[in-house]
Amino acid sequence: MSDTAVAARPNRLAELMATKPVLLADGATGTNLFNMGLTSGDAPELWNEIHPDRIRALHQSFVDAGADIILTNSFGCNRRRLMLHDLQARTRELNRMAAENARAVADAAGRPVIVAGSVGPTGDLFEPLGPMTETEAVDVFKEQIEGLIDGGIDVVWIETMSAPEEMRAAAAAAQALGMPYTITGSFDTAGRTMMGLPPQGMPDLAHALHPAPVAIGANCGVGASDTLVSVGTMTAADPDLIVISKANCGIPQVDGDQVKYTGTPELMGRYAKLAIDSGVRIIGGCCGTSPTHLAAMRHAIDTHTRGDRPTFEAIVADVGPLQSPPPAATEGEGRERRNRRRG
């Protein structure tokens, strides 16, 4: 496939966004695959070949719940992470299979469904903290994205990123291949990513990229409240940007040999409404989000009229306290408590 042919691909995500005020992205891949038989230490990406029926069934369950966007089972399908399973030589092939599985479900949906090629981090630290350079990372991501293009993705979905260098590298790979792309970071460390990027840094990063991402945002992290604060910071910083919110379904809790998430469908429905009020245009769920949760979010999106931007206090009251709050939020919560006592 030539770069010219790739560059000519329509931006189907932007086209769909022009027809709807808010889009629903899908739920969790990994946690739902564990419920379907994946075991710790297995390579989820290999299921694209050995259990395509299960992968397609998961995609179908999200489409049935109302998803407008489904993510390929390719989060860790870059050669650096596949080396852990001695599968690095099959990088492009496994990405192609991941995209083909999602494409088959999307094409049979009877309505527009976007296939987003999930691109997660390499797992390596960047110079000077680790061995990876931006140039090397661009090459790693290009190989992965080429496989996803072979399988028919509509957009490159760069997600769960922590380092600005890695975001730029993945974006550069998508740009080099003529693909529209999105970027979301994981703001799980006192309101910042693990590598120190604050949510307000995302709009700045987006404006420095050419061509710019279709959308930016936050995913995963430590809970719905934390994610809402992060994406609200982004929409306040630049109301013209399209922002993605893909929060975890509550908080993980260990139950024997299983990890369960505390979020109910009702909670995720409230989260979706608060995300709309915050100015978010693409809403989905990350770890722990099942098709049942997603259906509740679909209903919330379809029935909610956007209201005023929620305050920090409103978010906490509706979906629970922050799990890893930034210092400013902690101080603000303390002042609010003191004011209530004085009142």
β-strand partners of 132 = 126
Q: Residues 12, 200, 186, 291: what is their CA dihedral angle, to the nearest 10 degrees?
A: -50
β-strand partners of 261 = 252
Instruction: Compute the half-sphere exposure of residue 139: CA atoms within 13 Å on the CB side of its CA.
Output: 5
Residue 286 in marked binding region: yes
Q: Which two tokens mark 84?
A: 């852990």
The string of DSSP codes covering 145-181 is HHHHHHHT-SEEEEEEE--HHHHHHHHHHHHHTT--E
Q: If 0-12 CB within 10 Å is exposed, 13-18 middle and 19+ buried, where does residue 343 land?
A: exposed
Q: Rounded to whole angstroms, how far apart are CA atoms 309 and 239?
A: 12
Q: Rounded to whole angstroms, how far apart are CA atoms 240 and 256?
A: 46
Residue 220 in marked binding region: yes
Q: Rounded to whole angstroms, how far apart are CA atoms 176 and 186?
A: 25
SS3 23: strand
Residue 235 near residue 278 (C-beta atoms within 8 A):
yes
Residues constituting the chain: 343
Residue 215 backbone dihedrals phi, psi, to 5 degrees: -155, 155
> 199-223 burial, b for 16+ CB within 10 Å, e for fewer?
bebbbebbeebeebbbbbbbbbbbb
Q: Rounded to whole angstroms, how far apart are CA atoms 169 and 121?
A: 10
Q: Which two tokens mark 143?
A: 């190989």
> How many other C-beta atoms lie within 10 A of the C-beta of residue 273?
21
- List the binding residues: 220, 286-287
- List the binding residues for Zn(2+): 220, 286-287
